[in-house]
Structure 1
Amino acid sequence: MSERKNYLLTDTGVKAIAKQSAPAKRTRYSDGDSLYLIHDPKGSLYWVMAYRYQSNKDIKSKQKTFHVGTYRSSKQLIDASFKPEVTLKQARSERDNAKTLLADGIDPTEHKNQHKHNFEEKDLFKVIAKSYIDEKSKTTTKNVQKLQGFLDNHILKHLGAYPIGAITTQDIIKTGLAIQASFETQGKHTSETAPKCMGLISSIFEYAINTLGYDIINIAIGRNKALRQHKAERMKAVEQHEFPELLRHIDTYIENHPNGHEQTVAGLQLMTLCFVRTKELRFFEWSEIDYHQSVWRIPAHKMKMRQDHIIPLSPQAMAIIERMRPLTEHTGYVFYNFESNKTYSEAWFNQALQRMGYTGDPYPKMTGHGFRQLASTGLYELKFSKDVIEIQLSHLDQSSVKNRYDLSAHLAERQVMMSQWARHLDNLRAGCAVNFGLLSPEALNIVMTERGRQEMQIVAYEKDTLIHYLKSKGVSQELLMKLADQL
């Protein structure tokens, strides 16, 4: 009898198998010494070890299969970024560990199953998840409720009862697929809940490793690839050519809806000019207005990106805000719902837009968040730069030194942009045609030169204002001259 050969497979060979189309029937590739790579008709590849074991209840030993781990799930693509979940080397190591258990009379499959139920209460995934949520209580209430909902409604039913160190890659993938399937059975094929749940599981693993000191690997990283890709829906918003009519409907809201609030009209008008997130406008406080520079300074704790944000206020925006002063200044908030005696709810703008008919019939669907889409599209068509627009939309991460510099350096450009945007909306209200076609090189040069001149005027004004202020505080002339040179 010829001697059995081991180590028959190679990393390159296994990857080549993974690139093949799924076989018509289950195919087995031997590495020798009882280790096999299984290619499933659904496309997944996984490692198994064949062995015989006789328990106390068995008359004779039985043929059994130990699931070593998955090389590639059926959803994973084999591209440059592909990394196997369990490599050939790791599979051989797990096989050797299982054989050591067999030599000691222990069934490796039973040992693996028992390990999931051998733990302390503090090691349970649900206990660690609760601790993680408690840490998150420092963030917004809405965020905590959302995370808790993901856990209670989707994740804990699959993973909650297991100790975190015993959870496998397949446990996590099966959890994600089960969550995705639950939505697909309801016809919700674009739900983003499953990917967000997978992200939360990964965050809990990171918390266990970095904060609680668990000596485990974050096996949840990258498991989103096992899910069908979520296709984000575009926010509901009217098209640019429908914007003028929307502006006029907002202006006549009280006229057409006598029970409406004046704050609602002002809020919608300010939203068109400033295009902040609805929450930022609902909790807009009088103390956040910088009258010296005509800007609205939103503190970091109110922002989605958790970074301070500046909104230059055009004369039109300031006029709307000042209309609210006699009505709401004593409340501390620019917009205040006196019927409920608190700030307006999340449904504030959407309900008003629905009353105007922006439900899909007779007018297109529109939401409060859609004003950001309208502003983004319009500003790009007005030829403003991407950096300036994205900073104003608070889309850029300003955590780096460079981006914090950009935030300051682009402020004058943003002031020009916000003023021109306000004039653009006035023109739309008046029914003036706006040509968004391509400019000739000469016309574009005139536009950009004028904007540059306006920006230089703003910078020069702020520089002079700062010098006069420091001079009034007794700063020496010599120091002022040095500062002026640097500015």
Structure 2
Amino acid sequence: MPLTDSQIKRLKPSDTCTPSRPDKYSDGNNLRLWVRSTGSKVWVCDYKYADKRQSLTIGKYPAMSLADARQRNQQIKDLIAQGINPKHDKKRQQADNDGSKAFDNIAQRWHDDRKAHIAPTTYSRDYSQYQRDIKPVIGHMNIDDITAPDILAIGKAIEARGASDMARRAMRQTGQIFKQAIREGLVTHNPANDLTEALKPHKVKHHSRVTSQQLPKLLQDINAYEGDLLVKLGLWFMCYTFVRTQELRFMEWSEIDYKAKVWRIPAEKMKMDRPHLVPLAPQTMAILEQIKALGFSDQYVFFNPSTRKPYSTNAFITALWRMGYKGRMTGHGFRGLASTTLHEQEYMHEAIELQLAHEKENKISKAYNGAQHLPYRIDMMNQWANFIDDAYAGKLDNVIRADFKGQKQKLG
């Protein structure tokens, strides 16, 4: 039976409707209305072209009325009769219209702008996800027509595959593309804001790491490592700074403020897309001086002269495995170890979280200031570096009871 306007207005997602399986209602003549789990309703035309069955989304209800959908459905049949693929014609029409506001065009500009400033692996990961999960859903749409439910549907579909981290990443990427459009003056609002809260709570994955009591042995094993010198120095650098392995790998000489003794990581290199400051203790400055003297690269600090590019993540994890720490320690484990120890020693929670560059969905993070508590963090990082040195020297028990805790108390 053909659909009616009153019937369409009453339609709501059924109990069996999911992000990957919308409800489908036939109007006849191969025209169907899809009702998504978000409540949005879209017109879809099923047709056969070149002996292959295909589907084409032609509009959203109520922006496209029932009468308009039937008219567009007939136009598609006329195109097929002329030997024209309706999908190709749709792309042509979109290009003829205001192409500057096509979401895909804006997204391409955003990705192109980032390419020169971020790690190749990060660019490849994000662009591949755009092509796979975002573009097929909203790439063809005018950015003015994209709503929060459209974006949420992308995240829900990815989440349904069991990839909750990827779902959040896709929605953050969509939000960044909207920010690009806002900067270009194409739109004034961002419907992707705060949508990650609608996804299932993120399950924290605890990375393998040694305990503080096992730390002295780990440090001694790192110092005795006979593999690649820069990998060894990189592990020491992670001990002192507890940065992410990805941040370490793509560290550049131009990011080091020698006068302030701070590593200034730009936003595009950070997981949370915001700039980050890493205070550099004398121990880390000494490592940098040692690497600089080797003269391997004028751009990257941890540069592999054999491959002519920064070291891979596997270089660091493999080194730990060779030392006997497979399943016991990872590059990320240095972060967990530092967080636990600093919290146990009653350092300011907010300063620790800022130094870890963690994402926090609260008012503090939304007003993020990379220099917040910087003097406190500089002292904390210097004391942490001294703690690492004392642990290596076998003075861990004395440090915990006296020096480390006593220095912390001086910060007041």
| Match among 130, 144, 159 for residue 151 of structure 1 | 130
1:371 correspondence with 2:350: no
Deviation per residue, 1:108-142 (Å, 9 max, x gap)? 88499999948332645544432332343353143
In structure 1, the partner of 2:234 is 267
SS in 1 for 2:337: helix
Matches within 5 A, 1:9-408: 35-38=9-12, 40-42=14-16, 67=33, 73=38, 98=65, 101=67, 107=70, 110=73, 117=90, 119-121=93-95, 123=99, 125-137=103-115, 139-142=117-120, 143-160=122-139, 175-181=154-160, 184=161, 189-204=162-177, 207-208=180-181, 211=184, 213=186, 228-254=200-226, 260-282=227-249, 283-285=251-253, 288=256, 290=258, 295-298=261-264, 300=266, 304=270, 305-307=273-275, 309-314=277-282, 316-324=283-291, 326-328=293-295, 335-360=302-327, 364=328, 366-395=329-358, 403=369, 406-407=372-373
Task: Return the letter of the residue paired with 2:215.
Answer: F
TM (normalized to structure 2)?
0.65
Indicate the SS of the match to 1:392: helix
Q: Deviations over 1:316-342 (max 9, x none)?
A: 445544554643489576554343455
Native 8 Å contact 1:169 1:220 kept in 2: yes
Percent identity over the alignment?
28
Inter-partner Cα distance in structure 2 for 1:399 and 1:226? 19
SS in 2 for 1:241: coil
Task: Specify the code of the residue in structure 2 equivalent to 1:134.
Answer: D
Q: 1:174/1:435 Cα in 2 relative to 1: closer, same or farther (>3 Å)?
A: same
Structure 1 residue runs without a partner (length 5+): 1-30, 52-61, 74-83, 87-93, 255-259, 457-487
More moved, 147-156 vs 340-349: 340-349
User: 4+ residue stretches of structure 1 with deviation over 6 A?
Assistant: 31-34, 46-51, 62-66, 94-97, 111-116, 165-171, 396-402
Measured in 1, the distance between the counterparts of 2:353 and 2:156 equals 35
Q: Deviations over 1:442-484 (max 9, x none)?
A: x99x956x5465x59xxxxxxxxxxxxxxxxxxxxxxxxxxxx
SS of residue in 1 equivalent to 2:213: helix
Aligned counterpart for 2:386 among listed residues 396, 415, 423: 423
Separation in 1, partners of 2:174, 2:25:
29
C-alpha distance in 1 between matches for 2:183 and 2:292: 49
Gaps of 5+ in 2: 42-60, 78-85
Contact 2:26 2:33 in 1 (8 A): no
Shift of 1:432: 4.2
Greater Rg by CA: 1
The whole-number CA distance in structure 2 between the counterparts of 1:384 and 1:372 is 15
Please give the root-mean-square deviation of Cα atoms over the aligned residues, in Å: 5.2
The 1:329–1:313 alpha-carbon spacing in structure 2 relative to 1, beyond 3 Å, is farther
The CA distance in 1 between the partners of 2:380 and 2:186, in whole Å, is 49
Q: Please state how far the C-alpha of 1:177 moved relative to its aligned partner.
A: 4.7
User: Partners of 1:261 and 1:370 in 2: how far apart?
Assistant: 21
- Residues 161 and 371 of structure 1: is their aligned pair in 2 closer, same or farther, counting only changes over 3 Å? same
Structure 2: how far apart are the matches of 1:33 and 1:435? Answer: 77
**Alignment: residue pair count:** 366
Change (3 A) 1:37 1:406: same
CA contact (8 A) 1:37 1:48 kept: no
1:265 aligned counterpart, secondary structure:
helix
* TM-aligned CA distance change 1:220 to 1:108, over 3 Å: farther
Change (3 A) 1:265 1:303: same
Relative distance call for 1:253 and 1:156 in structure 2 (3 A) is same
Q: Distance in 1 between matches of 2:11 and 2:281?
A: 65
